[in-house]
């Protein structure tokens, strides 16, 4: 029985198992989407694979009944943790009318669901950051005690909106947590051709805020960092910038062929640290997860994914003329 790191930071067995299950569910939904894409059933997929630990670790450190989130396109793990269902996600992949994100109007990965306080997102990167700051500002004005949680990639941290949004949050000491999921590539461009600073969290000092880099393959480390940031935010100590170092295990998207710009060996090496695998190993080492339980979880997850896929595949598209609706309030 190894070192129970999760207990030390107050995570129960149930919680870590729930985290594990959420990570696995994200992974399996994603894998299924690739299959559906490759068999011509859905036109597009953009993946969470390799980043589930960061996403789920962070989300579990938040108050998922209260906090708001502005996720980016890879954040399957975040939105699942916030209450989106596999069915919702598959409806989005198939672009069906019932998709709660957009009714089939947006590509998969463009999350949004008001009832779960998931802000609607777009494709141009980093625009969601000022939105999250705006939600935090509103919360502060209304004397609410939630935080606002926003994510983006390390490439996207070079957009002007990153700077403008974080400076705004810093000046007004707003309860917003920004997590950069640094997966070392922005499509084909590697970290060192993309980001001039040694790491992303050092940029926190430009905004007078707390900054930290954590191992994004370790959900417990991410949980701890976000938990700490949340406490600061709630105590009026202002915003935080967290960098979760991960790796993108798939190509950028189903439209990308990553063989032109990165070595197979690099990916093989990264797969050894695949967070779903390493977290499962950890849970087994500390005796929380048995082989039997793991199988059961896998089966449950598979069932969920199957169900969701079938449902979504059968579900109807919105009528063509539905394209005319909801430009303005009706």
Partner 1 sequence: MAVMSYIQAVTTALREEMQRDEKVFILGEDVGKKGGVFKATDGLYEEFGGDRVLDTPLSESAIAGVGIGAAMYGMRPVAEMQFADFIMPAVNQIISEAAKIRYRSNNDWNAPITIRAPYGGGVHGALYHSQSVEAVFANQPGLKIVMPSTPFDVKGLLKAAIRDNDPVLFFEHKRAYRLIKGEVPDEDYVLPIGKADVKREGDDITVITYGLGVHFALQAAEKLAEDGIDTHILDLRTVYPLDQEAIIEAAKKTGKVLLVTEDNKEGSIIGEVAAIIAENCLFDLDAPVMRLAGPDVPAMPYSPPMEKFFMINPDKVEKACRDLAEF
Ligand X SMILES: Cc1ncc(C[n+]2csc(CCOP(=O)(O)OP(=O)(O)O)c2C)c(N)n1
Binding site for its own copies (CB under 8 A): 158-164, 166-171, 192-198, 202-203, 205-209
| Interaction of residue 329 with partner 1, rule CB under 8 A | yes
Q: Tell me which of 268, 272, 314, 324 binds partner 1, using CB under 8 A.
A: 324
| Interaction of residue 71 with ligand X, rule CB under 6 A | no
Does residue 261 carry a catalytic annotation? yes
Does residue 210 carry a catalytic annotation? no
Measured at the alpha carbon of residue 103, what is the angle toward residues 255 and 119, in degrees to the nearest 5? Answer: 85
Look at residue 230 and give the partner it binds from partner 1, Mg ion, ligand X, none, a contact being a CB closer than 5 to 8 Å depending on partner kind. none
The interface mask with partner 1, positions 95-134, x = CB under 8 A, is xxx-xxxxxxxxx--x-xxx----xx-xxxx-x-xxxxxx
- The size of the chain, in residues, is 330
The window from 61-69, 99-107, 178-186, 217-225 that contacts ligand X (CB under 6 A) reads 178-186
Q: For residues 125 and 275, which CB has a smaller minimum distance to its own copies in the complex?
A: 125
Q: Which of 261, 262, 273, 311 is catalytic?
A: 261
Question: What's the number of CA atoms in the CB half-sphere (13 Å) around residue 77?
Answer: 30
CA distance 42 to 72: 20
CB 213 → Mg ion: shortest distance, Å?
15
Is 138 within 8 Å of 164 (Cβ atoms)? no
Question: What's the number of CA atoms in the CB half-sphere (13 Å) around residue 196?
Answer: 2
CA distance 19 to 13: 10
Which helix (H) or strand (E) segment is 179 a member of? strand 176-182
| Interaction of residue 154 with ligand X, rule CB under 6 A | yes
CA distance 176 to 159: 18
Look at residue 85 and give the partner it binds from its own copies, partner 1, Mg ion, none, a contact being a CB closer than 5 to 8 Å depending on partner kind. none
CA distance 197 to 241: 14
CA distance 77 to 95: 20
Q: Tell me which of 155, 211, 238, 239 binds ligand X, using CB under 6 A.
A: 155
Does residue 252 carry a catalytic annotation? yes
Q: For residues 140 and 184, which CB has a smaller minimum distance to Mg ion in the complex?
A: 184
| Interaction of residue 153 with Mg ion, rule CB under 5 A | yes
Q: Which of 20, 32, 248, 282 is catalytic?
A: 248
Which has the closest alpha carbon to 239: 178, 155, 197, 315?
178
CA distance 24 to 277: 9
Q: Which of residues 4-43 bind partner 1 (CB under 8 A)?
A: 43
Q: Which of residues 275-314 bind ligand X (CB under 6 A)?
A: none
Q: For residues 137 and 270, which CB has a smaller minimum distance to partner 1 in the complex?
A: 137
| Interaction of residue 122 with ligand X, rule CB under 6 A | no
Which has the closest alpha carbon to 326: 117, 70, 105, 91?
105
CA distance 315 to 156: 35
| Residues binding Mg ion (CB under 5 A) | 153-155, 183, 186
Q: Which residues are tagged catalytic?
A: 248, 252, 261
């Amino acid at each position: 029985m190894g070192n129970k790191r999760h207990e030390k930071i107050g995570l129960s067995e149930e919680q870590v198992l729930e985290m594990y299950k959420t990570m696995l569910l994200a992974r399996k939904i994603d894998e299924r989407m690739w299959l559906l894409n490759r068999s011509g059933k859905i036109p597009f997929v953009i993946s969470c694979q390799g980043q589930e630990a960061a996403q789920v670790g962070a989300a579990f450190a938040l108050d998922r009944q209260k906090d708001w989130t502005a996720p980016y396109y890879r954040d399957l793990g975040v939105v699942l943790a916030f209450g989106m269902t596999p069915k919702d996600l598959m409806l989005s992949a198939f672009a069906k009318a019932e998709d709660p994100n957009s009714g089939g109007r947006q590509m998969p990965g463009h999350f949004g669901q008001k009832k779960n306080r998931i802000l609607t997102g777009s494709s141009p990167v980093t625009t969601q950051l000022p939105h999250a700051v705006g939600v935090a500002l509103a919360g502060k004005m209304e004397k609410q005690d939630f935080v606002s949680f926003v994510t983006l990639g390390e490439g996207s941290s070079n957009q002007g909106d990153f700077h403008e949004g974080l400076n705004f949050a810093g000046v007004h000491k707003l309860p917003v947590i920004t997590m950069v999921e640094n997966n070392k590539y922005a499509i084909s461009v590697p970290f060192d051709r993309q980001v001039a600073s040694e790491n992303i969290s050092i940029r926190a000092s430009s905004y007078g805020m707390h900054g930290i880099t954590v191992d994004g393959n370790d959900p417990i480390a991410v949980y701890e960092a976000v938990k700490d940031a949340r406490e600061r935010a709630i105590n009026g100590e202002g915003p935080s910038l967290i960098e979760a170092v991960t790796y993108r295990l798939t190509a950028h998207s189903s439209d990308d062929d990553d063989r032109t710009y990165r070595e197979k060996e690099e990916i093989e090496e990264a797969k050894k640290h695949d967070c779903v695998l390493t977290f499962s190993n950890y849970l087994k080492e500390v005796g929380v997860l048995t082989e039997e339980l793991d199988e059961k979880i896998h089966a449950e997850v598979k069932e969920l994914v199957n169900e969701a896929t079938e449902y979504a595949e059968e579900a109807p598209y919105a009528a063509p003329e539905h394209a005319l609706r909801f430009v303005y309030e009706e």
